Amino acid sequence: MYRLLSDLSVIEASSFVASPTAGLYLAQMGAEVIRVDQIGGGPDFRRWPVTAANDSLYWENLNRAKKSVALDLSRPEGRELLQALVQATGQFVTNFPVHGFLSHDTLSAKRADLVTVRVMGWADGSPALDYTVNNAVGYPMMTGTGPEPVNHVLPAWDLLTGAYAAFAMMAALRRRDATGEGGEVRVPLSDVAIGTVANLGGIAEVLAAGENRERLGNTVYGLFGRDFATADGERVMIVVVTPRQWRQLLAALGLTGAVAAIEAERGVNFATDDGERFRHRDALFPLFERAIAARDHATLAPLLDAAGIVHSAYRTMHDAAHDPRLVCDNPIFAPGVANPSGMDYPAAGAFATLPQHDRRPPAPAPRNGQHSEEVLAERLRLPHAEIARLVDAGVVGTS
């Protein structure tokens, strides 16, 4: 079976979420991703969540299927080895600063066709994190009911930036295949965030309206969608996106006549217009609240399923970890992976597959420096005696 990206090798020097995610996605699609860290681990090596032994489950899962080289990057000799690895390989993913020993100009001086993908904070090179960029683009002032801002816990901009950076790497490699030219692709977190806001119509919306969107809590903007409470205290999110779903939801809940009465009273037609359902939610929501509150969840769920309605009860992450559809019977997961932490839990592999793609089981993350000797010998053709000298001198780390 053909393994996607099996002929691609990438050096990764990065930390935290966005840049390691780019490397992870490339590795999951079959690329050889060689992560280079400081001996003993970089700044994210112990990031929470951690085990009782202080092993980072975050690091362990963001770095699956990669190789690890450990160098003392505080010393010139260690930095020179990292530069040499990048130049020997020709593909580089990093979130190190634009300027310095890993600048593209420095690295490409000895490898003109080098492709560098650099994840950044702001486009001008100043630092930023997902949580601060999210504040800058306005989403915490749209979340919740107000007036205080509400941060969400998912690092969405980090994850989008990581995926975009992996995509950018492949685009830059296609360009190099066609022209022979390398180059640096910069992917600022801030541009991914504000660009996504624009792509969703948010910039145009506020400029046209001259004001911010009202805060809606759990109500979906522009659609019929909200959480409702059942008779037994479950909260269920229900979202309608098609005319057929709307008709079938009314029939399932016995609300066809009551909704027709609202349409007649207000001179509107909810059958085909998402916007009208949203605008008149003040009249519609009380009907649905009463109808759903009269049923327990065990009765409601099969009723909605039979009607083809999109719905989901709210669950904890602990619940999700035991859900057969999400984890236990999901083929992206595999148990029994030899994780560096020693913990045995379902490990995620690639999220997407092609029929011709050999779906490999999820691979473990490396130990810090696990592949140092192997990579230095293969990539830089260093003799074993020289590698031993570097290890003894503390320039190279091994596991």
For residue range 296-320, what is the model confidence (pLDDT) as tens digits? 999 999 999 999 999 999 999 999 9
Question: Residue 25 above 60 pLDDT?
Answer: yes
Nearest to 91 by CA among 3, 161, 185: 185
pLDDT at position 3 = 67
Domain assignment of residue 205, yes or no? no
Same domain, 184 and 231: no
pLDDT at position 361 = 81
Q: How far apart are CA 222 and CA 218, in angstroms?
A: 12
How far does CA 191 lie from the centroid of its chain?
Answer: 16
Same domain, 389 and 240: no
Q: What is the mean pLDDT of residues 332-351?
A: 92
Element holding 262 (H helix, E strand): helix 256-266
Domain harbouring 281, CATH code: 3.30.1540.10
The answer to whether 367 touches 68, Cβ cutoff 8 Å, is yes
Number of independent structural domains in the chain: 2
Same domain, 283 and 142: no
Nearest to 56 by CA among 43, 72, 68, 37: 43
User: Residue with structure tokens 């009723």?
Assistant: 303
Question: What is the separation, in whole angstroms, between the first and last Cα of the chain?
Answer: 32
What is the C-alpha R_g of the chain? 26
* Strand duo 235-240 + 310-313: pairing: antiparallel
pLDDT at position 360 = 75
Residues of the chain by 3-state class (helix, strand, coil), percent to 5: 40, 15, 45
Same domain, 230 and 155: no
Question: Residue 75 above 60 pLDDT?
Answer: yes
Label residue 1 by pLDDT band (50, 70, 90). very low
Domain assignment of residue 38, yes or no? yes
| Cα dihedral 117→123→124→130 (10° resolution) | -100
Q: What are phi and psi of 272, to 5 degrees?
A: -125, 0
How far does CA 140 lie from the centroid of its chain?
Answer: 19
Same domain, 255 and 182: no
Same domain, 295 and 340: no
Same domain, 302 and 345: no
Domain assignment of residue 214, yes or no? no
> Angle CA(172)–CA(173)–CA(179) in degrees, nearest 5?
90
Domain assignment of residue 123, yes or no? yes
Same domain, 303 and 338: no
Q: What is the mean pLDDT of residues 227-242?
A: 97
Give the three-class secondary structure for 235.
Answer: strand
Question: Residue 356 above 70 pLDDT?
Answer: no
Nearest to 281 by CA among 343, 347, 348, 219: 219
Domain assignment of residue 147, yes or no? yes
Q: What is the mean pLDDT of residues 78-97?
A: 98
Contacts of residue 341, Cβ cutoff 8 Å, sequence gap at least 6: 51, 53, 55, 57, 60
pLDDT at position 326 = 96
pTM: 0.94
Question: Residue 189 above 80 pLDDT?
Answer: yes
- Identify the domain boundary among 313, 343, 370: 313
Same domain, 229 and 186: no
Amino acid at 32: E
Residues classed as catalytic: 158
**Per-residue pLDDT tens for 89-148?**
999 999 999 999 999 999 999 999 999 999 999 999 999 999 999 999 999 999 999 999
Domain assignment of residue 178, yes or no? yes
Contacts of residue 395, Cβ cutoff 8 Å, sequence gap at least 6: 71, 72, 75, 77, 78, 81
Same domain, 92 and 37: yes
User: Residue with structure tokens 């393994």?
Assistant: 3
The answer to whether 16 touches 158, Cβ cutoff 8 Å, is yes
Same domain, 255 and 336: no
Q: How far apart are CA 396 and CA 77, in angstroms?
A: 9
Give the three-class secondary structure for 247.
Answer: helix
Q: What is the mean pLDDT of residues 231-239?
A: 98
The answer to whether 304 touches 311, Cβ cutoff 8 Å, is yes
Domain assignment of residue 3, yes or no? no
pLDDT at position 112 = 97
* Strand duo 67-71 + 396-397: pairing: antiparallel
Amino acid at 213: R
The answer to whether 350 touches 332, Cβ cutoff 8 Å, is yes
Counting Cα atoms < 13 Å in the Cβ hemisphere of 333 gives 15
Nearest to 308 by CA among 240, 398, 373: 240
pLDDT at position 353 = 80
Domain assignment of residue 207, yes or no? no
Q: What are phi and psi of 255, to 5 degrees?
A: -115, 10
Q: How many residues does the chain have?
A: 399
Same domain, 269 and 358: no
Q: What are phi and psi of 192, to 5 degrees?
A: -60, -40
Residue 326: how many CB atoms within 10 A of its CB?
15
Instruction: Give the domain range for residue 378.
Output: 9-198+332-397
Label residue 188 by pLDDT band (50, 70, 90). very high
312 beta partners: 237
User: Residue with structure tokens 């003040």?
Assistant: 282
pLDDT at position 158 = 98
Domain harbouring 382, CATH code: 3.40.50.10540
Nearest to 95 by CA among 154, 41, 162, 192: 162
